[in-house]
């Protein structure tokens, strides 16, 4: 009987996001595919350094080791490499002891069509076209920035931080702010305070993490080794709709920060997330030097 991934949190990650392949990417761009192929084959026993998404993937996979009776997370490497040039990736996965057994090797083709086939809940990549296509197809996806220097420090918990509008929630309210200004935004949020915000691209991921947290607590009373944070530019009076929306979704976020326009960087540095997801390039640019950061593109399909 076929294995089902339907009840798992499935993370699809590109090989360039999992490992540091920037030198190889430069060879491909400057010298072409044949030079890249020769380089990868000649160096297939050279272990790759860690990439921007490695810390998050390693942390998530630890959930399975903590619950041998049940598997929560599956990671699928999704690469534009061909099978011919992929041995270095698999050798590096084995070297670091990552429990990753599934892969998509598209030979240069777009990866987006294969996300649904593997029931991917979160897709991480450094290839902007793939990330945009994934978001357009309804999959939570982020374009990762290169990792900061402290990314490899070990933490006892999986820590993930989210922006609110256009990430956990839809961009409906944010568009009002951008087009009509702060007064119109606050008036809209007061008038709709009792109406839950529409789901954004990362709502499904947040709900999946909340489900895992609850299952850990129900299993043996232990607190789940996951901690989530909402770090939003909202402030009073726009806070009420957020709180009521999460309550309606039956989702409890561990830490919430209503920043009111104050820079998020210091809070993020204190929280120490394995990944921070935000849609605003300015917020991401300030955060990327301090914490692993992924930018969530706006959906562009009509």
Q: Are strands 73-79 and 102-105 parallel, antiparallel or unpaired?
A: parallel
Q: Are residues 162 and 139 in the same domain?
A: no
Q: Are residues 138 and 163 in the same domain?
A: no
Of 41-45, 201-205, 215-219, 258-262, the poorest mean pLDDT is in: 215-219
Number of folded domains in the chain? 2
Please say if the pLDDT value at position 300 is more than 70. Answer: yes
CATH number of the CATH domain containing 268: 3.40.50.1000
Model confidence pLDDT, tens digit, residues 5-33: 767 899 999 999 999 999 999 999 999 99
Q: Which residue has tokens 């070990």? A: 154
**Residue 279: what pLDDT?**
95
DSSP reduced 3-state for 86: coil
- Give dist(CA 72, CA 65) in Å, integer: 10
> Within a domain: residue 76?
yes
Cis upstream peptide for 237 (omega within 30°): yes
Catalytic residue flag (residue 34): no
**Residue 231: what pLDDT?**
96
Q: Are residues 87 and 63 in the same domain?
A: yes
Q: Are residues 110 and 223 in the same domain?
A: no
Model confidence pLDDT, tens digit, residues 190-229: 999 999 999 999 999 999 999 888 877 655 556 678 999 9
**Residue 220: what pLDDT?**
56
Q: What is the pLDDT averaged over residues 58-72? A: 85
**Residue 217: what pLDDT?**
63
Model confidence pLDDT, tens digit, residues 74-117: 999 999 988 888 999 999 999 999 999 999 999 888 898 999 99
> Within a domain: residue 278?
yes
Token pair listed for 223: 């607190």
CA distances from 153 to 56, 114, 149, 291 (A): 11, 33, 9, 11
Question: Which residues constitute the domain of residue 106?
Answer: 9-143
Q: Which of 6, 99, 129, 163 is catalytic?
A: 163
DSSP reduced 3-state for 294: strand
Q: Are residues 281 and 169 in the same domain?
A: yes
Q: What is the pTM of this model?
A: 0.91
């Amino acid at each position: 009987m076929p294995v089902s991934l339907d009840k798992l949190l499935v993370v699809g990650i590109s090989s360039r996001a999992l490992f540091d392949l920037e030198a190889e990417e430069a060879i491909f761009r400057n010298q072409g595919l044949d030079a890249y192929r020769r380089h990868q084959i000649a160096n297939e026993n050279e272990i790759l350094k860690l990439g921007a998404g490695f810390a998050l993937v390693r942390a998530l996979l630890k959930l399975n080791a903590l619950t041998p009776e049940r598997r929560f997370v599956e990671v699928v490497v999704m690469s534009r490499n061909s099978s011919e040039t992929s041995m270095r990736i698999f050798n590096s996965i084995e070297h670091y002891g990552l429990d990753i057994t599934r892969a998509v090797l598209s030979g240069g083709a777009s990866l987006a069509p294969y996300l649904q086939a593997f029931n991917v809940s979160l897709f991480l990549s450094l290839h902007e076209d793939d990330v945009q296509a994934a978001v357009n197809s309804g999959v939570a996806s982020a374009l990762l920035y290169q990792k900061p220097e402290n990314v490899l420090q070990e933490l006892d918990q999986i820590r993930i931080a989210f922006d609110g509008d256009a990430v956990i929630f839809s961009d409906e309210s944010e568009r009002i702010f951008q087009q009509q200004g702060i007064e119109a935004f606050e008036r809209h949020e007061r008038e709709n305070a009792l109406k839950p915000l529409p789901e954004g691209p990362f709502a499904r991921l947040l709900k999946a993490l909340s489900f895992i947290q609850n299952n850990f607590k129900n299993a043996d009373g232990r607190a789940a080794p996951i901690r989530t944070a909402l770090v939003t530019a909202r402030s009073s009076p726009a806070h009420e709709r957020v709180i009521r929306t999460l309550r309606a979704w039956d989702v409890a976020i561990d830490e919430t920060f209503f920043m009111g326009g104050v820079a998020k960087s210091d809070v993020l540095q204190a929280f120490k997330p394995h990944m921070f997801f935000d849609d605003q390039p300015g917020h991401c640019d300030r955060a990327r030097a301090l914490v692993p950061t992924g930018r969530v593109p706006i959906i562009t399909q009509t």
